[in-house]
Homo-oligomer: A and B are copies of this chain.
Amino acid sequence: MTERAPFHPTEVLLLGPGPSPVSHRVLAAQSAPVLGHLDPEFLGLMDRVKADLRALFSTENDFTLPISATGSAGMEACIVNLVEPGDRVVVGIHGVFGERMKDLVQRQGGNAIEVRADYGTALDSAAMAQAIANGDTKLVCFVHAETSTGVLQPPEPICAAAKGAGALVLMDCVTSLGGTRVALDEWGVDAAYSGTQKCLGVPPGLSPVSFSEAALEKARNRKNKPTSWYLDVNLLSSYWGSDRVYHHTAPISSIYGLAAGLDDVFDEGMEARFERHRAAAQSLYTELETIGLSCLVPENLRTPMLTSVVVPDGVDPGAVQKHLRSAHHIEVGGGLGTLKGKVWRIGLMGHGARETSVRRVVTALRDALAR
């Protein structure tokens, strides 16, 4: 019998919107022997992961754990548990991920009230506050760092308006967690979700989420069960909590990877990590200028981990991406939604947020544009 040819992926420097570069420690952790999902050693690791995630989210929320699926499933977990048919939900939309939240709210029968801002700008807090006050709002949703544009949204005014109206707050932290400060308890965020493949520097596959007591209470007091069994927080609580009731078979290797990624985060220190992301972004802005490229988002609104770069007139953005990938082994992202064909998205996330990444991508871009 002939053995099948093994798959040997090329080493690509991942500077798109995610996945981001992964450290050797994390990759090695994923090849450790697999334990059972109720094994005492594994249960201990789950507790460690929960504690680390609480520190990163800056929260005391007991329900803070990785959902066994990617970041989009984290969004779904929050919305299916927190939205009941007929609920008035204010959704801030200034990029693709806000659009997706609205779609999910509607799939649960929620009444989604949109507050829109142009892609590349921030949501207007006053417009959000007005929409929130304009009815019996149950939930307010917005994206902290919009991965489709590179805008970092100031959370405090939106959270304050929601609290004033007695509404819960759901914040998307997919791209912000691990790369910039996230402070759920201080800001008054009731539910949040993230992904492992951005600033945590772990392969895609898990979605860290956190629910406050108020959010759990809403989930517990629903008239009907949520439409999802897999993402039902009441069932997840029983497995990840002290009951250890079997729910689903946790993705063991992925959780090993996440635990190792969290080791990377806390060995470096959260503040040092955030500063590294800021410094790398600052260097990217400067270097892009030297080759005549400009950023989509005004500097005061930019999120350090993802920069949207305007495609110059007459340049084929896809051809540049292909050249970067084939000649330089670098991945950068294209535009999504209304920005399709108009921007490149350069991610400096997790393990990849460093000066050497900036040099390599800017040198490669100069080469591609000169062709």
| Residues of A that sit less than 8 Å from B by CB | 1, 3-4, 6-12, 14, 16, 18-19, 21-22, 27-37, 39-42, 45, 48, 68-73, 76, 80, 100, 103-104, 106-108, 195, 197, 203-205, 225-230, 246-254, 256-257, 259-260, 263, 266-267, 269, 325, 331, 336
Contacts and interface: CB of A to CB of B under 8 A. Distances in A.
Contacts of A108: 227
Contacts of A80: 227-228
B263 A4 contact: yes
Contact of A69 (B37, B69, B256): B69
Main secondary structure of the interface of A (DSSP, over half): loop
A259 to B, nearest CB: 6
B107 A225 contact: yes
Copies of the chain in the assembly: 2
Given A226-B107, A229-B104, A32 B19 contact: no
A70 B41 CA distance: 21
B31 A16 contact: no
A18 B263 contact: no
B7 A34 contact: no
A72 B9 CA distance: 30
B37 A19 contact: yes
**Max chain B CB contacts within 10 Å: which of A225, A250, A251, A267?**
A251
